[in-house]
Homo-oligomer: A and B are copies of this chain.
Amino acid sequence: MTKVTAQMSVSLDGCYTGPRDPRGEQDMKGWMRGPEAPGFFRVTRWAVDAMAWRERQGFAGGEQSADSEIVAEMFASAGAYVMGRRMFDAGEVPWGEEPPFRAPVFVVTHRPREVLERRGGTSFTFVTEGPERAVELARAAAGDKDVAVAGGGELLRQVLAAGLLDQLDLHIAPVLLGEGQRLFGPGLGLGPGEGIELAPVRVVESPGVTHVRYTVTGRSELVLDDRGASGELVGPATAGQ
């Protein structure tokens, strides 16, 4: 059955890229010199080194590793993608004539545009009716494979907040960035005392990154308890209660 999945590389302090550029959106050269790039490259380094990622980009080399298997699995399971407009804009030129997706990609945007057909099975369809509609279209296009939310962070938060996400793969890079754009946070639209519950279903360890797969359980009220003190008290610590 088709699941809606997302995978994201984040730092240990929850950032998926460096701080947003105060100069506004930049071309690739400007972006490379801006504050986003160092954090972005650091958290995605594990994938860049992986053979399966390099093959998809047409780069030589790379390591055959647990990380590479994770990348291969990710590409193999996605029958269609949903993508934010900002990520598409950043990728359109560098991805070139044969982008690495090899599947239909649905870009959530406010600007209508004709479908863009690329070689190798990738197409970009521009959806102006919001993330829910993009997920619906991607679901129809995915066959029995999954719909992958390719990013960026804002789209992922929208999909999660709308209750559309079934599975989340976090690739946790062992670095603290201090400052940067946080993957989660207030954008989830949670009320006080409310959380989104998940369940860890798989961990893959690697020297440079920890891959944790979660199933999304959903919104739930955070329960107050009394630290277990309501159970029968035994032993010396009762003296001080």
Residues of B within 8 A of A57 (CB): 227-229, 237
- A196 to B: closest C-beta gap in Å: 4
Residues of B within 8 A of A236 (CB): 58, 97-98, 119-120
Question: Which A residues contact B (CB, under 8 angstroms)?
Answer: 11-14, 18, 32, 35, 37-39, 41-42, 44-45, 48-49, 53-62, 93-100, 119-120, 160, 170, 172, 174-179, 182-186, 188-190, 192-200, 203, 205, 207, 209-210, 212, 214, 222-225, 227-229, 231-241
Most buried by B among A12, A55, A160: A12
- A10 to B: closest C-beta gap in Å: 9
**Given A12-B198, A38-B193, 13 further pairs, Cβ under 8 A:** A39-B195, A58-B236, A59-B231, A96-B237, A96-B241, A100-B237, A176-B184, A176-B188, A177-B190, A177-B222, A179-B186, A179-B192, A199-B207
- A76 to B: closest C-beta gap in Å: 18
The 5 closest A-B pairs by CB, nearest first: A96-B240, A58-B237, A178-B190, A13-B184, A38-B222
5 A-B pairs (CB sep. < 8 Å) = A59-B231, A60-B233, A178-B184, A179-B185, A200-B207
Identical chains in the assembly? 2
A39-B222, A190-B177 given; A59·B240 CB < 8 A: no
Residues of B within 8 A of A235 (CB): 55, 58
